[in-house]
Homo-oligomer: A and B are copies of this chain.
Amino acid sequence: MNCNVPTDIVFSFTGFAMRGGQTDTHHDGWGIAFFEGAGVRHFVDHQAAIASPVAELIKRYPIKSRNVIAHIRKATQGQVALENCHPFVRELWGRYWVFAHNGDLKEFNPVLSGSYRPVGCTDSERAFCYLLQELHARFGDAPPGLPQLHLALAELLPAIAAHGTFNMMLLSGEALFAHCSTSLHYLVRQHPFPTAKLSDEDLSVDFSQVTTPQDRVAVIVTQPLTTNEQWTAFAPGELKLFVDGAVQEAPAT
């Protein structure tokens, strides 16, 4: 979720968490990370989201954030363990970066120098460490602007995606990058706000009652969360940057 005003994710998370063991088979852990200024609240659990006391807290406690990544895990590589739960959080250029991956990378064993090393044993954390290492190698200690970062990711991601399925999200501060390999959808909620109805639980929210006309919220998911809104599918290989709840133009190459 990427927004122009701090927004709580209770509605979306409620539907999403149902897929962590109830309406879907992603029951091998879950996690969520909320940016708050430069800081991050990071919750991970190796229990299924539907059975997790921490997930209960997230559903009840409306943490407001402009940038959130949540993930439910179906273990394809790496055992069910806390260190293998997404999203992962690391620091580069004095900022936290948050990463989550849906999919499976085969024979992806990049050379990792000492600066970012995986703690767990997933293909996903390897991909994250590799991305940060390569971004650091390209730009050194001076963080690039968003267009330069966008271009660098557009160059780096296809080589990773060549190893398998690589739907992923990468978030730092106010910029959320989403890359589709096989399945990713997005939606921008803005004025006039609809009543949205979850597809995984009998729950609706009239967003016009809890928003102002200036609010804008982008929600990006592998599979649409609501039944009565128009979700836009990413094309395979597509990379999009979201800032302030809006899709940004791809930079000129």
A53 contacts the other chain (Cβ, under 8 Å)?
yes
Copies of this polypeptide in the complex: 2
In the complex, chain B residues whose CB is within 8 Å of the CB of A37: 81-83
Given contacts A115-B115, A136-B114, A39 and B93 within 8 Å (CB-CB)? no
In the complex, chain B residues whose CB is within 8 Å of the CB of A54: 57, 61
In the complex, chain B residues whose CB is within 8 Å of the CB of A39: 44, 46, 81-85, 119-120
CB distance from A57 to the nearest CB of B (A): 5
Number of interface residues of A (CB under 8 A): 39
Which of chain A's residues 64-108 have a Cβ closer than 8 Å to chain B?
81-85, 89-91, 93-96
A117 contacts the other chain (Cβ, under 8 Å)?
yes
24 contacts between A and B (CB under 8 A): A36-B81, A37-B83, A38-B81, A38-B119, A39-B44, A39-B81, A39-B82, A39-B83, A39-B84, A39-B85, A39-B119, A41-B44, A41-B45, A41-B82, A42-B42, A53-B57, A54-B61, A57-B57, A89-B89, A91-B117, A94-B117, A95-B119, A114-B136, A114-B141
5 further A-B pairs in the complex, CB-CB below 8 A; given A37-B83, A91-B117: A39-B119, A41-B43, A90-B91, A93-B117, A114-B140
